Amino acid sequence: MSKTNQTNSVVKWVDDRLPVFTFMQHELHEYPTPKNLNYFWNFGSLAGIVLVTMIVTGIVLSMHYTPHVDYAFDSVERIMRDVNHGWLIRYVHMNGASAFFIIVFIHIFRGLYYGSYKAPRELLWMLGVLILLLMMATAFLGYVLPWGQMSFWGATVITNLFSAIPLIGEPIVTWLWGGFSVDNATLNRFFSLHFLLPFVIVGVVVLHIVALHTHGSNNPVGIDTTGNDDQIPFHPYYTVKDLFGLGVFLVLFSLFVFYAPNYLGHPDNYIPADPLQTPPHIVPEWYFLPFYAILRSITFDIWFLDAKLLGVIAMFASIGLLFILPWLDRSPVRSARFRPIYRQFYWVLVIDCFILGIVGANSPDDPVFSGLDGFQFIHLGMMSTAYYFFHFLILLPLLSVIEKPDPLPASINEPILGGGGNAALAPGKPMEKP
């Protein structure tokens, strides 16, 4: 590890005893990075910045928030009305959660397209999936805190999922609730855990980055870097590119925070929780909709497993699959640019996930197209759920064997300098925005 070239004597003294400056120099400054990364590689650092933003706004919110069933709703309204710029802090936190998921979903689909989960980055990928799970838990817990109708009923529905587990399901639910229904004890522990989990996420993110810096970033061509011609130092090239990306993100984010702060939320959550009145539709936040669709799409028992339990299993399996993805896709080629068949099924999967989201937002027995009563959302949900599992469990292992990849360039540098001499690159071009 090269020593920091700082000349400041205090810095040197510290660095000699605790090499933080050398560390920063190495990991944020010199860190050799492939020179052909496109803008899809911006989303990792963006996610990190949003995570920090969530923690900062969250800590300020919790200075004013009261986790008690009688005061929670009103304390949030106090933040909105009486705390200086409280509305801004809350709207940043609220929309920040949505932004976080958008960013992380793009980040994940980037990985799927360019094969970033393949050796030697399997653990890096698995840590990422773990972060997704922790984020989902955190967001679910946070959504309960304002104690509106959707908070309460969402919590009731989701905790109830555990009652599907045979024999011990019921005791588990009672244990989660800390009582016999979602109540004050539940709200208190949810607040405590909602405060805790983001810091656990920070810990996993650190591991994620350690794993990343061990082998370096993958890149759009998906081949290993071969030497200095392929690489550039992180600073200033990617620091400035990430900052520009951050600027674009902040413009879009501000449009939501200042002009449509409740666009992604549900109006029912501005009604205080009422355990005696079930809302007509219980829908989760948008980022849970595809998973909600999978949960509801299993309507039949298999053997001794009833439909509800199967739905829960399917939902968890849809994420669990991602953990073993590196071993489902055995193709030695990483980037979809050089995988003519996979490239097409990748887009089918993207569309399938959007369809799942739409299904999750609708009532299962409503017709998909008005006038075509026989074809309901539940049917569309079953089909798209089946396809999701088909893609990972059957298609990917099959493609690993039958697909004939296009020829790979000899180095990253070659297609860049070769000036279009490489025909194999052409089909992948649309993914690479300038």
Partner 1 sequence: MHKLATIVSLWMVIASGHSLAAGSALVPAKQNWSFNGLFGTFDRGALQRGYQVYNEVCAGCHGLRLVAYRNLTEIGLTEQQVKKIAASKTVKDGPNDEGEMYERSGRPSDRFVMPFANKNAARAANNGAYPPDLSLMVKARVGGADYLYGLLTGYQETKKGVEIPEGMYYNKYYPGNLIAMPSPLVEEGIEYPDKTKATVKQMAQDVTVFLSWTAEPEIEQRKRLGIKVLLFLIILTGLLYAIKKRVWSQLHN
**Residue 407 binds which one of partner 1, ligand HEM, none, with CB within 5 to 8 A depending on kind?**
none
Work out whether 52 is an interface residue with ligand HEM (CB under 6 A).
no
Q: Which two tokens stand for residue 371?
A: 């006038």
String of DSSP letters for 241-256:
HHHHHHHHHHHHHHII
> Of the candidates 135, 139, 143, which has an alpha carbon nearest to the alpha carbon of residue 201?
135
CA 89 – CA 77 distance, rounded (Å): 12
- The secondary structure of residue 68, as a DSSP letter, is S
Annotated catalytic residue within 26, 29, 241, 379: 241
Which residues, other chains included, contact 80 with Cβ-Cβ below 8 Å and sequence gap of 6+? 86, 87, 90
**Residue 76 binds which one of ligand HEM, partner 1, none, with CB within 5 to 8 A depending on kind?**
ligand HEM
Work out whether 377 is an interface residue with ligand HEM (CB under 6 A).
no
Taking the complex as a whole, the smallest distance from the CB of residue 337 to partner 1 amounts, in Å, to: 22
Candidates 142-150, 178-186, 239-247, 382-390: pick the segment binding ligand HEM (CB under 6 A). Answer: 142-150
DSSP E strand boundaries for 163-277: 231-233
CA 385 – CA 314 distance, rounded (Å): 9
Candidates 14, 49, 55, 271; binder of ligand HEM (CB under 6 A) is: 55
Q: Catalytic annotation on 329?
A: no
167 burial level (CB within 10 Å; 0-12, 13-18, 19+): exposed
**Residue closer to partner 1 (CB basis): 12 or 78:** 78
CA 303 – CA 311 distance, rounded (Å): 14
**Residue closer to ligand HEM (CB basis): 143 or 345:** 143
**Residue closer to ligand HEM (CB basis): 41 or 195:** 195
Contact 431, 413 (CB under 8 A): no
**Residue 157 binds which one of partner 1, ligand HEM, none, with CB within 5 to 8 A depending on kind?**
partner 1
**Residue closer to partner 1 (CB basis): 276 or 402:** 276
Annotated active-site positions, please?
213, 217, 241-242, 285
Query: Which stretches of the chain bind ligand HEM, using CB under 6 A?
Result: 51, 54-55, 58-59, 61-62, 65, 76, 90, 93-94, 97, 100, 135, 138-139, 142-143, 145-146, 194-195, 198, 201, 269
